[in-house]
Structure 1
Amino acid sequence: MKFRLHPILVPFFLVLMVTGGLAFYALVFISLLFHEAGHIFAAKLSGMKVRSCTIMPYGGELRIPDRYAYGKRQRVSVAIGGPAATAILLLLSMLFDFPGDEQFMRIQLVILALNLLPILPLDGGQAVSVLLEKEEKKYKMRSAFLIYSITVLVAVILLLLLGLPETVLFVALALFLLIQNISAFKFRKYEQAYEQLKRKQLTS
């Protein structure tokens, strides 16, 4: 399995280092790694093969070949694996005292709350999207959920702009998520064609 950091993390972490210091930067990075480890662990338990893992500002992204060929339970398990790992860190920070525990607790709360939002490509959105799927209308449902996510993110960005400069990191993150969703929407038909081709190959 390949492991890499998304280039967007460079300016994101530079801002964190300037505004919060190296200790804060280290806590955020460790928290993101642990969050993604939860996804990987859930994927392994579900029998899914992970080709690569990319750390993002909000968590990460797993590249799982033929992801949609797996069952709903497996895909939902992978989606909630990250938030479950973050929830464990949050619980540990509440039960045990250690230097910087309040800051560490706030980081886990932000990562957990962010990833549970029901919008793509966040974990909450991934889980809801899978649960809403119906075999006969799954492609239309995926497209509709992408449109919903894009609409919500545009509204969120407009609201966050009112709070600048304090909300600059959240604006940047929302823009990044918006771009990801627009890209996914543009390539949805290619993904659908590929998925149907793979299904034909497996059944022929």
Structure 2
Amino acid sequence: MRIKLHPILLPFFAFLALTGGLSLYALIFLSLLVHEAGHVLAAKWAGMRVRSCTILPYGGELSIPKRYLYSKKARISVALGGPIATALLLIIVSFNNVPGSAELKKIQLAILLLNLLPILPLDGGQALSTLLERKEKRQQSKSLFLMGSILLLAAGLLVLMNGFPDTLLYMCLAAFLLFQNISSYRYRKYEYAYERLIEKQLTR
């Protein structure tokens, strides 16, 4: 399994470095690694093969070949593996007075609350989208969920603009997630056609 850093992390961490937040940078990066370790362990437990893990500001994304062929239970377990790992780290830090524990608690809370939002591709959105998915109408349900994510992110971006420049980092994150959802929505038909092709090949 390869671990990669998404290019969006560079301006994110550069901003922290310029504002004197190098220690915060280290704590955030450590927290993101723990969060993703939770996803990876859950995927291994579910019998999935993880090709790569890309670290992002809100957590990360696992590349799992033919993920849609696995059961709902397995996919939901993987989606919730990250938040569970973050929640466990939050509990450990809360009951142990370690250096930087106050900042660590804030970071875990931020990562946990952000990832549990019902928005794709966040963990909460992944889990809820999978839970509501119907096999015979998978394309329609995912399309509707993507549209809902786009609307929520667009509304959130407008709200965050009122706090500019203090909310600049959150605006960048919301814009990045919005772009991801718009791209997924545009190419959803091609993705679904590929999935159907693979399913037909497997049932021959």
Counterpart Cα distance in 1 of 2:158 and 2:110:
20
Counterpart Cα distance in 2 of 1:145 and 1:128:
9
Return 5+ residue gaps in structure 1 as ranges: none
Tell me what 2:53 maps to.
53
Residue pairs, 1:92-131, within 5 angstroms: 92-131=92-131
Tell me what 1:35 maps to.
35
Tell me what 2:77 maps to.
77
* Secondary structure, aligned partner of 1:147: helix
Counterpart Cα distance in 2 of 1:60 and 1:20:
25
Residue pairs, 1:1-204, within 5 angstroms: 1-204=1-204
- 1:18 is displaced (CA, Å) by 2.6
Counterpart Cα distance in 2 of 1:78 and 1:21:
31
- 1:156 is displaced (CA, Å) by 0.2
Counterpart Cα distance in 2 of 1:73 and 1:16:
38
- TM-score normalized by structure 1? 0.99
Work out the percentage of aligned pairs sharing the same amino acid: 60
- 1:21 is displaced (CA, Å) by 1.9
Deviation readout 1:144-196 (Å, 9 max, x if unpaired): 00000000000000000000111000000000000000111111111101110
Counterpart Cα distance in 1 of 2:18 and 2:79:
32
Deviation readout 1:97-133 (Å, 9 max, x if unpaired): 0111001100000000000000101000000000000
* Secondary structure, aligned partner of 1:60: strand
* Secondary structure, aligned partner of 1:61: strand
Deviation readout 1:62-83 (Å, 9 max, x if unpaired): 0100010000000000000000
Counterpart Cα distance in 1 of 2:49 and 2:16:
33
Q: CA RMSD in A?
A: 0.7
Counterpart Cα distance in 1 of 2:76 and 2:25:
30
Counterpart Cα distance in 2 of 1:175 and 1:151:
12
In the alignment, residue 144 of structure 1 is paired with which amino acid?
Answer: L
- 1:36 is displaced (CA, Å) by 0.5
Deviation readout 1:31-53 (Å, 9 max, x if unpaired): 00110010000000000111111
- 1:19 is displaced (CA, Å) by 2.8
Counterpart Cα distance in 2 of 1:86 and 1:114:
11
In the alignment, residue 19 of structure 1 is paired with which amino acid?
Answer: T
Counterpart Cα distance in 1 of 2:11 and 2:81:
27
* Secondary structure, aligned partner of 1:107: helix
* Secondary structure, aligned partner of 2:49: coil
Counterpart Cα distance in 1 of 2:20 and 2:57:
15
Alignment: residue pair count: 204
- 1:20 is displaced (CA, Å) by 4.8
- TM-score normalized by structure 2? 0.99
